[in-house]
Structure 1
Amino acid sequence: MKNTITLLLLFTISISFSQSSTKKADKLFDRMWYKEASVLYELELNKIERRNNTDNNTNYANLLKRAGDAYYFNTDMENAYRWYDKLVSGFYQEVDAEYIFRYAHSLQGIGENRQAKRWMKEFAKRTENKDDRSPKLNQKKITIEDILNIEPRFVLKNVSTNTKYSDFGPMYYKDKLVYSSAVDSSTFHTRIYHWNEQPFLNMYLGELNQIESDLKLIDEFSNKLNTRYHEATLAFSPDQTKVYFTRNNYNGNLGRDNKGTNHLKLYSADLRKNEDSVLTWQNVKELPFNSEDYSVGHPTVSKDGKLLYFVSDMPGSIGATDIFVVDILEENANNKTQDSTYTGYSKPRNLGEKVNTAGREMFPFITNNALYFASDGHLGLGGLDVFESTIIDSSFQKPQNLGAPLNSKLDDFGFIVNEEKNKGFVCSNRLTGKGDDDIYSFIRLPKEDVLCEQKISGYVTNTITGERIANVKMTLFTETGKTLETTTTTQAGAYTFKTVLNCATKFKVTAAKTGYESTEKPVLTLNENGETLVVLGLETLNELIVEEKGVLKIKIGIIYFDLDKSYIRNDAAIELNKIVLLMAQYPQMVIKIESHTDSRNSDAYNLSLSDRRAKFTRDYIISQGIQANRIESAKGFGESQLVNICADGVSCSETEHQQNRRSEFIIVKM
């Protein structure tokens, strides 16, 4: 996609001059004349290599980067790999993660998928898996092999209107197709875009044949919209009386920012009758969120006409270019989303990290069912790949690579589809085409033939302590409340249901355990084969209720007894009253009391003393109105269950001995 990516992705046409070959190459690079820049970079690199001045040479490393980038941004992955390979081989420790990614991407582009996978792991390591383009170690990883194994669903055909130049950006218009082309349609003087020595892009109208698998050129789409510079990628309102299209920042003159860069802008026009009562495109105007400092382009309109999606590198972008959306509003409408800065539109919103990545997202196309777009940030086969993000409950799901043959080693983009007919068009610069970028028609095989299933697993934690909880009853329900399966968490607090659900299916998981507040969580299974992880948190019914080593207990302050005594002191009564109130609050609660002593004195004496203390404690709770049958037992264990090393003959402090003098209130049932 040798001119389209640069024009519509990198968004720059910078004008500058220099004398040295390296500086001249840099200037050509900045103007996006990558082909010319790459020649000069190679000349400089050859000079350095002939002088054997390549070791620890910062200038050499920078030239390798530039040479690789010149081919990479021109989607010449074979030559990009050639220079990136020297960069990584010679400067492995110093090279930053971005060039590891580009090296891996170039390897994908030449079909070296195994090596690409190895370098993607290195990229993940260097970015600590925080970059969206790196595989996530704690989730199911989608690998190149997974994408290569996707069942083919598309049958492609190169359309007859393709030329030796760039042809791309198709969009349905009534019963026809509008697309962009650099075909030379000039009668007199052809204006050439020097980056690729092709005529400037304009929009053309094509006639679809009866089966919509081929195209016949009719004429320019509109001489009112086409100018002497680039126009491309457009979208229509549902009634097709308004068009949104991409154009250079041009209104009689090319507008540039303070660096001399000419950015892209979005424009709109209305279909109106002229003075001769002929319908023409009129009232061309900029959209209010354009800027001299960044680019906006690649429009697509929702089927209800309420949302306009587009691509930009505006502030707030996650990566090189992101997909944004605005609400289309009636001008001067009393709408909360109205912003005086963006008359007729809401403030642009980034679609977020689920769709956008640190890479480049381009060419969106929205339907009622899904968002389709091209990206080199999500894992693909090389260059740009086409992805599908299905829409469920107004939310975009994790994008899925549509696989080969729709996607290839090079750039694949500009996907549009008639969902009802399962037919559409896509663009590619694959080597089997007629020219630079070609338009392909396709037939899409029914999705029902593709089986997609999800297992459900997860774990349960204490929301206060974060500890995993064992023996929690887990139940899986359908969206309508039908019980599908019940299981119990393991000692590690984990669970897995045997029931397998369809992808993108709503369901509910509940968690329940004695002493805890039950909880439930509605969940939507992922839209890919694999496993949906559902984590739930439980809180105890009362802050006095705790779980220690799987045993539910009532935790109060220490019950103090006088030395060698077992009667209840006033300070002990205050703590025991907390248990009385708790048991009154939960009338089904049954407990047992266990008392312990330290190791000082004889075993027999301690056993007898602890037993008397346990029974005095029981009697006090009963005296406060709690039924006797709600205390299952009251038993002393003496010094037989010490919690530390302070056994007979061991020297310990008073504080350490006090840890062993304790009473425990264990919940038997509630």
Structure 2
Amino acid sequence: MKKIITLIGLFIVMAGFSQTKNKTADALFDKMWYLEAAKAYEYAIKGGDRSMETLQRAGDSYYFNTDMQQANEKYQLLIAEYPNEVSAEYLFRYAQTLEGIQNYELAKKWLKNFSKKAEASDARKQNFSLQENTIEKIMNLEPQFTLQNLAINSSYSDFGPMFYKGQLIYATSIDSSYAATRRYAWNDQPFLSLQLGKISPSQSDVSHVRRFSNALYSKYHEACVAFSPDENTIYFTRNNYNGKLGRDGKGRNNLKLYSATAVTKDDKTSWENIQELPFNSDEYSVGQPSVSKDGKQLYFVSDMPGTIGSTDIFVVDILGDNKFSQPKNVGDKINTRGREMFPFITDKTLYFASDGHLGLGGLDVFESPIKDGLFEKPVNLGAPLNSNLDDFAYIVNEETNLGFVSSNRKSGKGDDDIYSFERTPICKQQIKGFVFNEITKGKIANATVTLYAANGEKLEETTSGELGEYQFKTPVACSTSYKIEASKQGFTPLVLPVLTQGTSGETVVDLGIKSPLIVKEDGILKIKIGIIFFDLDKSNIRNDAAIELNKVVLLMNEYPEMVIKIESHTDSRARDNYNLILSDKRAKSSRDYIISQGITAERIESAIGYGETKLINNCKNGVPCTEEQHQQNRRSEFIIIKM
């Protein structure tokens, strides 16, 4: 495609394409001279040829040069003319062109149509049909990157940066003075060579120094390099130019990986011992290397046997003396039926470009964190790093969060441009905790917990679990104020302001809510209900008393482990023994009523009347007191023994 069109394109497998009746156009297409082929197919279409093969090839001629507007028009015509015959892959390409022209709403529809028609084994089928994976969510990701177009960019292709001794190696087609008329017919651009750039002190710009190495310079493409940790071994990509540059028997021009060794003499470094890597082949392409931080593994891109999609990321162990283990596909968590390209491996993360995972159009940059030696689910890095066209060849210093990326977005200077970036990682917090009874400290299940932004906007609502635990799924910003409300029937709602932690992780907020029914008096937990009234000299439960006792029943159902004891008391008026007997009857009547409402008898440890033996003021026999003072002594207490 038009980005490293010169290089990425060599990975595109064209086998199985039917020929059309347009021999001239087909010959240009088969040679990958897509600009000229597009003109020839346009002429055929205007002449009345609307065969499926012609429309496919016309669309592809534009698609492979990232002319998404023209490709979109041809694919749209293809689908209109052959709605039932068109393959899932062309539905996918059509959706890609819609993203390329930023018609995301329609792209979403056609990605779903692709998902319906794609084979079950195609991971993209599931990726693009899941409700939680939407283009809108990617577009709404919080921006992490500040990009700057580099001074070294030209109107031609400039891409594929790599760090080297504090400087930058990159590929460009501007240095083709070898033969000014030598142009790559795919996209009518000069051939690629490796250049050395000086990174500015701010690390935001790069100036050209010179050609990187005469020894590594050839008459065709060199690009995409990686270095061993000591920077004494280079791995680089070169197209297979044995014979004439054109298609091989399977319809592609292959890439190969090479290595060379640094030899330093008089402070000058030359590259010697250039040799092919042993897993190259004339039957498939191998390129775009990246070396692990410990120098033990080499990651690369290939369409070799065992590839899941168009191109996959593979890995080999570096054994020394130009010996390597057998290539291993990194697996379908990373690789899809689409294109996975440009790996950059660190000790923490695999970064790569893909159009097989949901993105904003063309290739997007993804990161897959490494946990316990395994790759996590890839995450789209969002705009502005990614755009509606191709974004790829991402490299970063994870200590400084400064790096470089390549893109053919329309705002660039020419074809592919290199951009410097500073990444400000998004700091995210997860709020979690427990809901508990402020008085008893017991955990509270089935409480409603609601998260609000500082401005009062409701963000999420959840329910505490059996052990009182809760966790909001919504990630929130670091060092930011929020409000959390906890509520449950029978409890006083709590609204608590929260300031999240300053670094990514978890903010734990335990929520203590109070029940007006549970109080602590002199260190003793009691169920606090209204006064239970009895008729004079009687112990039967009146309706108004039942209303209050039902509160005890409700609370005991809420806490199935709760055990209580009941104490009834009178004032000092009437005879002492009479008061003792009457209060005991009233305590036992209260107990019997609670049991009649479904509470088991063993959960009421005792029900005893104490008459006037436990007065709470000085209103003893013979002491004049007001009615209000006597009332304080006429009480029933429900004491909590166990929660």
| TM-score, with length taken from structure 1 | 0.62
Q: From 318, 334, 338, give the equivalent of 1:359.
A: 338
**1:233 is aligned to 2:224:** yes
**1:221 is aligned to 2:193:** no
Q: Distance in 2 between matches of 1:453 and 1:350?
A: 38
CA shift in 2, pair 1:250/1:92, >3 Å:
closer
Deviation digits for residues 534-554 of structure 1 (CA, Å, limit 9, x no counterpart): xxxxxxxxxxxxxxxxxxxxx
Shift of 1:10: 3.5
Question: Where in structure 2 are the equivalents of 1:37-76 lying within 5 Å?
Answer: 37-48=37-48, 60-76=51-67
Q: Distance in 1 between matches of 2:396 and 2:240?
A: 29
Q: Distance in 1 between matches of 2:8 and 2:408?
A: 15
The secondary structure found in structure 1 opposite 2:356 is coil
2:31 equivalent in structure 1: 31
Shift of 1:330: 3.0
Q: From 82, 86, 97, give the equivalent of 1:95.
A: 86
Question: Where in structure 2 are the equivalents of 1:1-20 lying within 5 Å?
Answer: 2=2, 4-5=4-5, 7-11=7-11
Q: Distance in 1 between matches of 2:178 and 2:29?
A: 32
Q: Distance in 1 between matches of 2:36 and 2:25?
A: 8
Q: Distance in 2 between matches of 1:43 and 1:164?
A: 28
Shift of 1:90: 2.0
The secondary structure found in structure 2 opposite 1:48 is coil
Q: Distance in 2 between matches of 1:392 and 1:294?
A: 32
1:116 equivalent in structure 2: 107
The secondary structure found in structure 2 opposite 1:7 is helix
Question: Where in structure 2 are the equivalents of 1:103-502 lying within 5 Å?
Answer: 103-127=94-118, 130-135=121-126, 141-186=132-177, 189-250=180-241, 257-259=248-250, 261-273=252-264, 278-331=268-321, 344-448=323-427, 450-451=428-429, 498-500=470-472
Deviation digits for residues 71-120 of structure 1 (CA, Å, limit 9, x no counterpart): 11211111111011111122112212111111111111111111111111
The secondary structure found in structure 2 opposite 1:265 is strand
Structure 2: which amino acid aligns with 1:42?
E
Contact 1:327 1:345 in 2 (8 A): yes
Contact 2:9 2:64 in 1 (8 A): no
Structure 1: which amino acid aligns with 2:215?
K
The secondary structure found in structure 2 opposite 1:262 is coil
The secondary structure found in structure 1 opposite 2:282 is coil
Q: Distance in 1 between matches of 2:307 and 2:296?
A: 23
CA shift in 2, pair 1:255/1:74, >3 Å:
closer
Shift of 1:369: 1.4
Q: Distance in 2 between matches of 1:152 and 1:129?
A: 34
Contact 2:344 2:395 in 1 (8 A): yes
Shift of 1:20: 9.0
Contact 2:204 2:420 in 1 (8 A): yes
Deviation digits for residues 459-496 of structure 1 (CA, Å, limit 9, x no counterpart): xxxxxxxxxxxxxxxxxxxxxxxxxx99679xxxxxx9
- Larger gyration radius, structure 1 or structure 2: 2
Shift of 1:210: 0.2
Shift of 1:187: 6.0
- CA RMSD between the two structures: 3.1
The secondary structure found in structure 2 opposite 1:27 is helix
Q: Distance in 1 between matches of 2:348 and 2:198?
A: 26
Structure 1: which amino acid aligns with 2:82?
F
Contact 1:13 1:32 in 2 (8 A): no
CA shift in 2, pair 1:195/1:254, >3 Å:
closer
Question: Where in structure 2 are the equivalents of 1:505-654 lying within 5 Å?
Answer: none
Gaps of 5+ in 1: 55-59, 332-342, 456-484, 490-495, 504-527, 530-670
Q: Distance in 2 between matches of 1:266 and 1:397?
A: 28
2:633 equivalent in structure 1: none
2:520 equivalent in structure 1: none
Q: Distance in 1 between matches of 2:432 and 2:320?
A: 43
Shift of 1:452: 6.2
Contact 2:38 2:58 in 1 (8 A): yes
Q: Distance in 1 between matches of 2:130 and 2:99?
A: 22
The secondary structure found in structure 1 opposite 2:320 is coil
CA shift in 2, pair 1:137/1:11, >3 Å:
closer
Structure 2: which amino acid aligns with 1:43?
Y
Shift of 1:197: 2.0
Structure 1: which amino acid aligns with 2:45?
L
Shift of 1:36: 0.9
The secondary structure found in structure 2 opposite 1:222 is coil
Q: Distance in 2 between matches of 1:190 and 1:37?
A: 20
CA shift in 2, pair 1:10/1:127, >3 Å:
same
CA shift in 2, pair 1:273/1:443, >3 Å:
closer
Structure 2: which amino acid aligns with 1:143?
T
The secondary structure found in structure 2 opposite 1:416 is strand
Contact 1:6 1:32 in 2 (8 A): no
CA shift in 2, pair 1:76/1:254, >3 Å:
closer
Contact 1:25 1:40 in 2 (8 A): yes
Q: Distance in 2 between matches of 1:13 and 1:273?
A: 41
Q: Distance in 2 between matches of 1:193 and 1:225?
A: 19
Contact 1:13 1:263 in 2 (8 A): no
Contact 1:249 1:255 in 2 (8 A): no
Contact 1:370 1:389 in 2 (8 A): yes
Shift of 1:164: 0.8
Shift of 1:190: 4.6
Q: Distance in 2 between matches of 1:143 and 1:20?
A: 38
The secondary structure found in structure 2 opposite 1:244 is strand
Contact 1:178 1:221 in 2 (8 A): yes
Q: Distance in 2 between matches of 1:13 and 1:181?
A: 24
CA shift in 2, pair 1:453/1:2, >3 Å:
farther
Deviation digits for residues 249-299 of structure 1 (CA, Å, limit 9, x no counterpart): 24798697445743110000000146x784310000000000010000000
CA shift in 2, pair 1:454/1:288, >3 Å:
farther
Q: Distance in 1 between matches of 2:431 and 2:89?
A: 35
Q: Distance in 1 between matches of 2:385 and 2:281?
A: 34
Contact 2:385 2:391 in 1 (8 A): yes
Q: Distance in 2 between matches of 1:396 and 1:301?
A: 16
